[in-house]
Structure 1
Amino acid sequence: MFSKITLKISLDGGNTLDYKIVDKREFSVIALKKQFSKDEDVFRKQIPRFWQDLFNSSLYRELISYVKENTVTKGGILGIDEMAVSQNKQLFNYYAAVETDEKPKNDKFTLFTIPSHKWAIFKCTGAMPNSIQNLWVKK
């Protein structure tokens, strides 16, 4: 007869992402919208440039003036992708947003509702924008 064959398989590599899945109720946001093309560098260059320009403008101070502490988003500033809006499918809307129950006083801001849903919450620490970009490119 034949000798017994034993196989041992080991897969190594990659990093474990620290995340949790949570249910969040509906909430409203005030947001500054910018449309982007779906280029390779949009998340590495264009969106960080959008945030940097926003941080250096009076619109940022106005946006954060709407922040409320005891909210679904705990007073955080959100980056929201709206991927399925363009008819040519090469563009998408991106929003810098804060949760609020107020109406915007400036017509540059948009008010809309985020429906209740399950969220994947990823732990991300460090200086922005590099920390969030590095989170998604971990190998």
Structure 2
Amino acid sequence: MSEVQNWIEGFQQSIDFMEENLASTLEIEDVAQKAALSPFYYQRIFGALCGMTVGEYIRARRMTLAAQELSSGDEKVIDVALKYGYDSPDSFAKTFQRFHGISPSKAREPGAHLRSLAPLHIKISLEGGKMLDYRIVEKAPFTVIGIKRRFNSDTSYQDIPKFWNEWAADMKGLKGMFGVCLDMDGKNFDYWIADNYAPWDDIPEGCEWTVIPGGLWAQFKCKGPLPDSLQSVNTQIWSEWLPTVKGYSLAGNYSLEVYGPPTEKPEDYESYIWIPLKKE
């Protein structure tokens, strides 16, 4: 079996595990283990491949099944709510309303309009045609200084740009050279807006420091306006590069975005994604 097939099968097993346990408590650590990945990387890869977070997928699948059960059976709303992990009818009803646009009781009415998300099946098509510019380098540990905030993986795509906008209004003496993701517990991570630390300079007020471990890094170039260039390369990394790379595997639960100096033309702007690796 090829490396690509192994990778796809492992990821599909994780999705099948979620499907089999939608009526049970699902922990991201258990889901990620099925794909032989850390929770940190699993959630990043899932988002890039599937276009939604793990939490969004689980909620959507639960709401899909809950609607089917309410519309075709005599189950009580409270029983369906409890089955899919909601402690109260109110919290269940709010989630149901957001997903379907109607209340759970309305789902019983003939002709009710309901939404449905089918189970995911991972299929990676390696068609090529678009170059991915990267290099693998070894770096010593280095220190960065910056401001940090803790984010939940489910909402980080929406919340991190807001963090950057807040920083842009009061830059706190930082240039914003790095965006650093550091996993904390598999569900939440610290995101830093940071610069290289210069020992001869004072640390700006409100800033902290942290050490980025040394080791091997895959450094991917992203060219073009943000955020499209970063997002495009990020998807390529997880869907095309990672399944086929030989001799290396992911290391550490952290990653970096590296931002270059401004350019006159947005299409000339260069940024980078750094992923830590280890030799197999």
TM-score bucket (shorter structure)? 0.5 to 0.7
2:214 alignment partner in structure 1 = 116
Equivalent of residue 144 in structure 2, options 29, 46, 53: 29
- Tell me the CA shift for residue 12 of structure 1: 5.0
- Distance in 1, matches of 2:228 and 2:180, equals 17
The answer to whether the 8 Å contact 1:29/1:97 transfers is yes
- Distance in 1, matches of 2:209 and 2:193, equals 12
2:161 alignment partner in structure 1 = 48
- Does residue 82 of the first structure (1) align with residue 193 of the second (2)? no
Quote the RMSD (CA, aligned, Å).
2.2
Q: Which structure has more helix as a fraction of its residues?
A: 2
Letter in 2 for 1:96: I
Equivalent of residue 135 in structure 2, options 2, 11, 20: 20
- Tell me the CA shift for residue 78 of structure 1: 0.8
TM-score by length of 2: 0.36
Q: Which gives a bigger RCO, structure 1 or 2 (Cα 8 Å, sep 6+)?
A: 1
- Distance in 2, matches of 1:82 and 1:17, equals 25
2:204 alignment partner in structure 1 = 105
Q: Which structure has more strand as a fraction of its residues?
A: 1
CA displacement 1:1-59 (0-9 Å, x = unmatched): xxxxxxxxxx75254421111011222111110100010x523x222222222122232
2:192 alignment partner in structure 1 = 95
> Which secondary structure state, in structure 1, belongs to the residue aligned with residue 223 of structure 2?
coil
The answer to whether the 8 Å contact 1:23/1:118 transfers is yes
Unaligned residue ranges in structure 1 (runs of 5+)? 1-10, 65-75
TM-score by length of 1: 0.67
Return the index of the structure with the highest Cα Rg. Answer: 2
Q: Which runs of 4 or more aligned residues in structure 1 lie more than 6 Å from their structure 2 counterparts after TM superposition?
A: none
- Tell me the CA shift for residue 98 of structure 1: 0.6
The answer to whether the 8 Å contact 1:48/1:129 transfers is no
Letter in 2 for 1:17: L
- Distance in 2, matches of 1:57 and 1:130, equals 24
Unaligned residue ranges in structure 2 (runs of 5+)? 1-124, 240-280
Paired residues in the alignment total 110
> Which secondary structure state, in structure 1, belongs to the residue aligned with residue 226 of structure 2?
coil
- Distance in 1, matches of 2:160 and 2:231, equals 10
- Distance in 1, matches of 2:179 and 2:166, equals 14
